[in-house]
Amino acid sequence: MAKKRIVTTKINGEEVSFLCEPRQTLLEVLRDTLDMTGTKEGCSNGNCGACTVIMNGRPIDSCLVLGVEAEGANLRTIEGVAHGAQMDEVQQAFLEGAALQCGICTPGFIVQAEALLEENPDPSEEEIRFYLAGNLCRCTGYDKIVRAVQAAAAARQTAEA
């Protein structure tokens, strides 16, 4: 077993240092070392998107990134989406649109949707579905998730107008 390394990274705007073994994934570090359990594990081989976080501006599956790779990176997780106690448009839209049932995929979808709307503030339905295709949901059939993202995009455009 290799020695643990000290890793220093930025998570949701704050500098964080942690110890991890080289074989630990970023997902494992977030959940087990840092107690940030909002990011979920669904498959641990990059196929379901439940572990999505944003790393240096790109949405990634944190189960496919090693904890040591987070050195010097800028990470955003579900815990950093709300502004303090104020939920953002995507979160509000998911609630109002009933876009979750069991909720296990919800953090991953919300983070992925945040990344989408950063890149493309006014996506079409097709663009939304394509961008979110790496996030699996088994409960909702996706209809209300797509509508929530459309509603969030519209709300954000109105807010910024």
Partner 1 sequence: MSTIEKPAYKVIGTRPVRHDGADKVTGVAKYGADVSLTGLIQAAMLRSPHAHALIKSIDTSAAETLPGVRAVVTSADMPEQGDRFVDLGEGGTIMSHLSSNVLAREKVLYKGHAVAAVAADSIHIAREAVQLIKVQYEPLPPVLDVREAMRDEAPVLNDDVRTQMLGAADPDEAEDQPTNVAKKFLFEKGDVEQGFAEAHVVVEREFTTATVHQGYIEPHNATAQWHADGKVTIWTSTQGAFTVRQQTAELLMIPASDVKVIPMEIGGGFGGKIAVYLQPVATLLSRKSGRPVKLIMDRAAVFEATGPTPGTYIRAKIGVTKDGKITAGEAYLAYEAGAYPGSPVSCGCMCIFGCYDIPHARVEGYDVCVNKPRTSAYRAPGSTNAAFAAETIVDEICCQLNIDAAEFRLKNAAQEGTRRVDGPVYSRIGMVETVAAIQASDHYQSPLEGSHRGRGIASGFWFNVGLKSAVTAMVNADGTVSLVEGSTDIGGTRTSLAMQLAETLGINAEQVKPTVADTDGIGWNDVTGGSRVTFATGIAVVEAAKDIQRQLLQRAATLWNCDRESVRYEDGKIAGPDQNVITFAEMAGKMLQTGGAIVGQGVCSDVAQSGAFGTHCVDVEVDPETGKVQILRYTIAQDAGTAIHPSYVEGQMQGGVVQGIGWALNEEYWYDDQGEMRNSTFLDYRIPTCYDVPMIETIIVEVPDPNHPYGVRGVGEVPICPPPAAIANAIYQAIGVRMQHLPMSPPHVMAEILRLSSAGNGRA
Minimum distance between the CB of residue 102 and partner 1, rounded to whole angstroms? Answer: 5
CB atoms within 10 A of CB 147: 17
Q: Are 134 and 128 in contact (CB under 8 A)?
A: no
Residues 39-68 that bind partner 1 (CB under 8 A): 39-45, 47-48, 50
Does position 82 interact with partner 1 (CB under 8 A)? The reply is yes
Q: How far apart are the first and last CA of the chain?
A: 55
Q: Which is nearer to partner 1, 72 or 120 (CB)?
A: 120
Q: How far is CA 94 from the centre of its chain?
A: 14
Does position 23 interact with partner 1 (CB under 8 A)? The reply is yes
Q: Are 86 and 97 in contact (CB under 8 A)?
A: no
Q: Which of 20, 55, 135, 153 binds partner 1 (CB under 8 A)?
A: 135
Please state, in angstroms and rounded to a whole number, the distance separating the CA atoms of residues 107 and 67.
20
List contacts with partner 1 (CB under 8 A). Answer: 1, 21, 23-24, 28, 31, 35-45, 47-48, 50, 77-79, 81-82, 87, 91, 94-98, 100-107, 110, 125, 128-130, 132-147
